[in-house]
Structure 1
Amino acid sequence: MTTNPPHKVETVVATTDILGETPLWCGRTNKLWWVDIDRQLHQSFDLATGAHETIRYDCRFLGSQALASDGSHILAQDLSLFRRDPVSGIVSRICEVETGVDNRLNDGRVDARGRLWIGTMDNELHRPNGALYRVDGDGAVRRMFADVIVTNGIAFSPDSRTLYFTDTRRYRTWCFDFDLDDGTISNKRLFADYAASGERPDGACVDVDGGLWTAFFSGGRIARYRPDGQIDTVISLPVTNPTCVCFGGSDYKTMFVTSARKFLDTGQLSSEPEAGHLLAIHGLAQGLPEHRFVFGKAD
């Protein structure tokens, strides 16, 4: 295992995100997009111009986002999914994923057939109220399984044969066999277990070689797992709370890391000036373009 390899961690945008999350690189716009969940901000950064733009939404939590094939953005607001038109900026509801529970939508990812896999989480961070859902292009919602505290770390292997899923407050990551044609999962098995230490695996992404990169909230690091579950790289970060990772840039060789100021006390914040910033690390590995949500009824 390689620990602290000689890769520079730098600030890309000196934001003050309370809970920065869900970074996604859009190759069409050459922008990095992410959210601040607690400030309800949808943000973008243009690497060519340095422009940082934000849009605030009228919701309690802006839980996550996804890119769509028509250029729009999918936004998870509280327990519903919305589409934001890229030209007009008009926001329209796609579907309500859950009702009648003290939950919100959290991590999600689109599969290679254009379906969104997204989960919910308990707003009190300890009750197993959440679930994982598949949302199809026509807005149909299918619950895949329940008994989730905090959904995180949804990622697909490069060959689309494995789905990774983390429950941060159960301190575990699982993997499933994934049937891309049918959009089903099976053969659940434990991939990484931190129940004894209470470490919190959070957002994740995969590289071209099938490595799973995971951010550790309250752990100050990211780690790469080989497909066999062994860690081969650990990168220490200048922030206590990294939240999620993605690859981007023209060659997908820049890793972007979102972070959070949430749960840090005054002393920690004063000694951690980069908390809440968008960070970047160059040359760790090469990633893959994100799949895009496809509107319309499946064939």
Structure 2
Amino acid sequence: MTVTSISPARVETAVASADILGETPLWCDRTGKLWWVDIDGRLHQSFDPATGAHQVSSYDCQFLGSQALTADGSHLLAQDLTLHRRSADAPRPVTEVESGLDNRLNDGRVDARGRLWIGTMDNQLHRPNGSLYRVTADGEVMRIFGDVIVTNGIAFSPDNRTLYFTDTRRYCTWMFDFDLDDGVVRNRRLFADYSASQERPDGACVDVAGGLWTAFFSGGRLVRYRPDGQIDTVVPLPVTNPTCVCFGGSDLKTLFVTTARKFLDRQQLRVEPQAGHVLAIHGLAQGLTEHRFG
């Protein structure tokens, strides 16, 4: 099939945030803002395209792994191995997801019933210490499976029948049959396998047509997969380390991309002035409104 390559000229800088490890971008339809984290900088950030305002809050933890929107308007923040609610007051602990391992929380996504699916990852990036968990609004934690090195790319198909899951350091993305009512996954099978080339699929999101958009860390590009696993669009980027993607804007037709300065040396940073910034590409597809925890 024909693969469309998008011109790099269409890639803009949305926010010159210079993140060490920007991640987990989410568009809030209530506030009209983009929210994301800098994991290593321990920063929770927002950007209002209408005003250009960029706001930053810092947190006392080792890693601010990911975030989720919530039904009550607060934010759910993954601080090390514990989930906290962030509102106008100080963050309030929700639940400790895991303990006793040299891990941290990483990528997560809320399903259409308000449950958070979130995974842990090995802090040394090579041991299969991580797991995928399902967390309910009352703080109940269920371990779904283990043997994960780096959890990433959690996304649900528009019909809520498929869960996508990536292990970046196993270089693979899998798909599962997803039962929305019962909150269980079955029938794990490979969706995209890069184990031979050791390319690193990272964060992902889906569009209204069911296409899966994936960022390739250390690969300098985004890829769109059709539901059958075929690639139909490639977006070359002016940075080496894109991390995650989401659709935003009032019409959900702007693809926002978080990126990282981490692992780049001084020479690479000189050649990549947009490294660590939030990038934007308009009009590639239309996204879906993000579900809320609670």
**How big is the shift at 1:5?**
2.4
Given that 2:6 and 2:236 are in contact with CA atoms closer than 8 Å, whether structure 1 keeps it comes out as no
1:5 paired residue number: 6
**How big is the shift at 1:245?**
0.2
Structure 1 residues without counterparts, runs of 5 or longer: 295-299
* Separation (CA, whole Å) in 2 of partners of 1:128 and 1:2: 34
2:195 paired residue number: 195
Q: Matched residue of 1:108: which SS?
A: strand
Among 69, 72, 78, the residue aligned to 2:71: 69
Is residue 111 of structure 1 aligned with residue 111 of structure 2?
yes
* Separation (CA, whole Å) in 1 of partners of 2:104 and 2:151: 10
Q: Matched residue of 1:42: which SS?
A: strand
For residues 112-191 of structure 1, what are the structure 2 equivalents within 5 Å? 112-191=112-191
1:49 paired residue number: 51
Q: Matched residue of 1:273: which SS?
A: coil
2:240 paired residue number: 240
* Separation (CA, whole Å) in 1 of partners of 2:90 and 2:74: 10
Given that 2:215 and 2:222 are in contact with CA atoms closer than 8 Å, whether structure 1 keeps it comes out as yes
Among 37, 40, 45, the residue aligned to 2:39: 37
Q: Describe the superposition over 1:9-56 as per-residue Cα deviations: whole angstroms up to 9, x where unpaired.
A: 000111110000000000100000000000000000001100000000
**How big is the shift at 1:195?**
0.2
* Separation (CA, whole Å) in 1 of partners of 2:221 and 2:111: 27
Give the CA RMSD over aligned residues.
0.7
1:205 paired residue number: 205
Q: Matched residue of 2:268: which SS?
A: helix
**How big is the shift at 1:90?**
2.4
1:89 paired residue number: 89
Q: Describe the superposition over 1:176-231 as per-residue Cα deviations: whole angstroms up to 9, x where unpaired.
A: 00000000000000000000000000000000000000000000000000000000
Q: Describe the superposition over 1:148-197 as per-residue Cα deviations: whole angstroms up to 9, x where unpaired.
A: 00000000000000000000000000000000000000000000000000
* Separation (CA, whole Å) in 1 of partners of 2:5 and 2:188: 32
**How big is the shift at 1:291?**
0.3
Given that 2:164 and 2:176 are in contact with CA atoms closer than 8 Å, whether structure 1 keeps it comes out as yes
Among 23, 26, 29, the residue aligned to 2:25: 23
Structure 2 residues without counterparts, runs of 5 or longer: none
Structure 1 stretches of 4+ moved >2 Å: 1-7
Q: Matched residue of 1:275: which SS?
A: coil
Q: Matched residue of 1:224: which SS?
A: strand
* Separation (CA, whole Å) in 2 of partners of 1:55 and 1:184: 35
Q: Matched residue of 2:99: which SS?
A: coil
For residues 287-298 of structure 1, what are the structure 2 equivalents within 5 Å? 287-294=287-294
* Separation (CA, whole Å) in 1 of partners of 2:151 and 2:14: 27
* Separation (CA, whole Å) in 2 of partners of 1:131 and 1:3: 35
* Separation (CA, whole Å) in 1 of partners of 2:43 and 2:70: 19
2:101 paired residue number: 101
1:297 paired residue number: none
Q: Matched residue of 2:84: which SS?
A: strand
**How many residue pairs get matched?**
292
* Separation (CA, whole Å) in 2 of partners of 1:231 and 1:182: 31
Say which is worse superposed, 1-10 or 283-292, in terms of deviation.
Answer: 1-10
Q: Matched residue of 2:18: which SS?
A: coil
* Separation (CA, whole Å) in 1 of partners of 2:6 and 2:36: 26
Q: Matched residue of 2:270: which SS?
A: helix
For residues 220-299 of structure 1, what are the structure 2 equivalents within 5 Å? 220-294=220-294
Say which is worse superposed, 89-98 or 252-261, in terms of deviation.
Answer: 89-98
**How big is the shift at 1:2?**
2.8
**How big is the shift at 1:4?**
2.5
Q: Matched residue of 1:154: which SS?
A: strand
* Separation (CA, whole Å) in 2 of partners of 1:200 and 1:263: 14
**How big is the shift at 1:248?**
0.4
TM-score (normalised: structure 2)? 0.98
Say which is worse superposed, 262-271 or 5-14, in terms of deviation.
Answer: 5-14
